[in-house]
């Protein structure tokens, strides 16, 4: 029997009992005994500082209004659809512009469709915006089984665009979403108008793993590259757990909201621009907690980690070459990024911004929107 290809309207409505349970758990957190001297809220050298984590947890419990955020998210049309046995949640915002092109926005971890909440209105004048959640993320849960990794997800996204009636479309992505974006272009070059990638200097950590180190780097540039790679390696503890032991970390993330809060909020320190800012000084605090709340309410701290395990053990390369036009926007950049990532200057649209970081849709929304528009206008 053919799979049901229905697009089922969806509206976010977290049960009040779940919201009350979250507040109760936060009120009864069993805190670690602090290490003497760990009282600097901006000192992330050992991970998220306990004093700062308590601040966030108290606000999440007593100051944060999930219902208000839920109402904002529900302003956008949403639906669910089943592809290859897996339920996918999709945000779909139709433009009123008759000349609008479809644009797929692909996020990664620890992001969600919430990441694009402020970006969507800035794009809707030129694009029909589509934001799917990968399997195990947000409302693309529960997982239907094992085997949901980057390649299978890419094919599912192409099917979702077909169901929406979009034969040709553009794609933007960051993090895991950048891999999905590139793979869409590699598999479906006749369908993908162009790909736009948002990244930051942490991508230099892929040199040697995914990218060869280019010839001709000066001693100073090599030292800079090694410093960035060392910093990235020090920040990859989460990657080892999610790549190899998702069930172990998943239990803690599902049972402890403060554990989930710490696990994600720390990444909004280490991967955003601004060395001296706390996570909620780099991005809007309510948007950050809405994103984290989505992981909590859907139990996708555990299921999103499974995506890492599946991708790590699939043998599928994160990057797939194609002849589709590509644009890159590098945030919190330095000159070394292009020297290493695009030494031949093969990428026609290359933008560099000193602002922002790994989450440009949340950190520098207008810069990202302007760059996406400029790239796709250049293709028409």
Task: State the architecture of 75-377 in CATH terms.
Answer: 3-Layer(aba) Sandwich (3.40)
pLDDT tens, the chain, 380 aa long: 467 899 999 999 999 999 999 999 999 999 999 899 888 898 999 999 999 999 999 999 999 999 999 999 999 999 999 999 999 999 999 999 999 999 999 999 999 999 999 999 999 999 999 999 999 999 999 999 999 999 999 999 999 999 999 999 999 999 999 999 999 999 999 999 999 999 998 888 876 666 677 788 888 888 888 888 888 887 888 989 999 999 999 999 999 999 999 999 999 998 887 667 899 999 999 999 999 999 999 999 999 999 999 999 998 876 788 999 999 999 998 888 998 888 888 999 999 999 999 999 999 999 999 999 999 999 96
Contacts of residues 362-365 at CB distance under 8 Å and 24 or more positions apart, as own/partner, are 362/115, 362/118, 362/283, 362/284, 362/287, 362/288, 363/272, 363/273, 363/282, 363/283, 363/331, 364/331, 365/118, 365/119, 365/122
Phi, psi of 130 (to 5 degrees): -125, 125
Give CA–CA dist 302/254, Å, rounded. Answer: 6
Cis previous bond, 142, omega within 30: yes
248: Cβ–Cβ under 8 A, 6 or more apart, which residues? 241
Radius of gyration of the chain (CA): 20
For residue 28, indicate whether it is catalytic: no
Separation CA 266–CA 32 (nearest Å): 17
Which residues, listed in sequence order, are joined to residue 350 by a DSSP beta bridge?
328
Question: Of these residues, 89, 107, 349, 358, which one is catalytic?
Answer: 358
Which pLDDT belongs to residue 1?
40
| Spatial distance between the Cα atoms of 275 and 282, rounded to a whole number of angstroms | 10
3-state DSSP of the chain: CCCCCCCEECCCCCCHHHHHHHHHHHHCCCCCCCCCCCCCCCCCECECCHHHHHHHHHHHHHCCCHHHHHHHHCCCCEEEEEECCEEEEEEEECCCCCCCEEEEEECCCCCCHHHHCCCHHHHCCCEEEEEECCCCCCCCCCCCCCCCCHHHHHHHHHHHHHHCCCCCEEEEECCHHHHHHHHHHHHCCCCEEEEEEEECHHHHHHECCCECCCCCCCHHHHHHHHHHHHHHHHCCHHHHHHHHCHHHHHHHHHHCHHHHHHHHHCHHHHCCCCCCCCHHHHCCHHHHHHHHHHHHHHCHHHHHHHHHHHHHCCCCCCCCCCCCCEEEEEECCCCHHHHHHCCCCCCCEEEEECCCCCCHHHHCHHHHHHHHHHHHHCCC
Query: Does 280 qualify as catalytic in the annotation?
Result: no
Q: Is 276 a catalytic residue?
A: no
Single out the catalytic residue among 116, 175, 238, 332. Answer: 175
Catalytic residue among 52, 76, 188, 308: 308
């Amino acid at each position: 029997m053919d799979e049901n290809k229905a697009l089922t309207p969806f509206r976010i409505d977290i049960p009040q009992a779940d919201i009350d349970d979250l507040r109760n758990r936060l009120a009864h957190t069993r805190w670690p005994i602090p290490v003497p001297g760990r009282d600097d809220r901006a000192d992330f050298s050992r991970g998220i500082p306990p004093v700062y984590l308590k601040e966030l947890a108290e606000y999440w419990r007593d100051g944060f209004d999930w219902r208000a955020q839920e109402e904002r998210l529900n302003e956008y049309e949403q639906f669910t659809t089943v592809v290859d046995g897996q339920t996918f949640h999709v945000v779909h915002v139709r433009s009123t512009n008759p000349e609008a092109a479809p644009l797929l926005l692909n996020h990664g971890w620890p992001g969600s469709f919430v990441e694009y909440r402020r970006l969507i209105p800035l794009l809707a004048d030129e694009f029909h915006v589509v934001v799917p959640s990968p399997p195990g993320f947000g409302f693309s849960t529960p997982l239907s089984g094992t085997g949901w990794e980057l390649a299978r997800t890419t094919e599912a996204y192409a099917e979702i665009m077909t169901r929406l009636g979009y034969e040709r479309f553009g794609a933007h992505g960051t993090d895991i979403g950048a891999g999905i974006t590139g793979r869409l272009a590699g598999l479906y070059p006749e369908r993908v108008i162009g790909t736009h990638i948002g990244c930051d200097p942490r991508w230099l950590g892929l040199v040697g793993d995914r990218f060869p180190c280019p010839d001709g780097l000066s001693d100073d540039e090599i030292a800079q590259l090694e410093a960035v790679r060392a910093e990235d390696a020090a920040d990859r503890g989460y990657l080892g757990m999610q790549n190899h032991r998702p069930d172990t970390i998943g239990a803690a993330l599902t049972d402890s909201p403060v554990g989930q809060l710490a696990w994600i909020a720390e990444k909004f320190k280490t991967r955003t621009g601004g060395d001296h800012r706390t996570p909620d000084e780099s991005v809007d605090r309510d948007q950050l907690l809405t994103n984290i709340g989505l992981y909590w309410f859907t139990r996708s701290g555990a299921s999103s980690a499974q995506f890492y395990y599946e991708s790590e053990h699939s043998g599928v390369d994160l990057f797939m070459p194609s002849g589709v036009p590509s644009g890159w926007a590098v945030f919190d950049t330095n000159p070394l990024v292009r020297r290493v990532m695009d030494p031949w200057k093969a990428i026609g649209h290359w933008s560099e911004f000193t602002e922002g970081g790994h989450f440009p849709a949340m950190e520098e929304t207008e810069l990202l929107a302007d760059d996406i528009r400029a790239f796709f206008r250049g293709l028409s």
